Amino acid sequence: MSLGTPKNNILNRAVQQLVDMGVPVVVAAGNSDSNACRFSPSSAQGAFVVGALDDRLDTAATFTNWGECVDAFASGVNVESISIFNNSPVKYSGTSVSSPIAAGLIAYFMGMGDSGEVATQRVSKLISIILSRLGPN
Quick: pLDDT tens for 9-55.
Answer: 999 999 999 999 999 999 999 999 999 999 999 999 999 999 999 98
- Average pLDDT in the chain: 93
* CB-based contacts of 126, cutoff 8 Å, min separation 6: none
At residue 131, does pLDDT exceed 70?
no
| Separation CA 96–CA 63 (nearest Å) | 12
Residue 136: asked if its preceding bond is cis (omega within 30°), the reply is no
pLDDT for position 87: 85
Segment among 22-26, 28-32, 120-124, 131-135 with least mean pLDDT? 131-135
At residue 113, does pLDDT exceed 70?
yes
The answer regarding whether domain 5-132 maps to CATH 3.40.1350.10 reads no
Residue-wise DSSP of 111-134: HTT--HHHHHHHHHHHHHHHHHHH
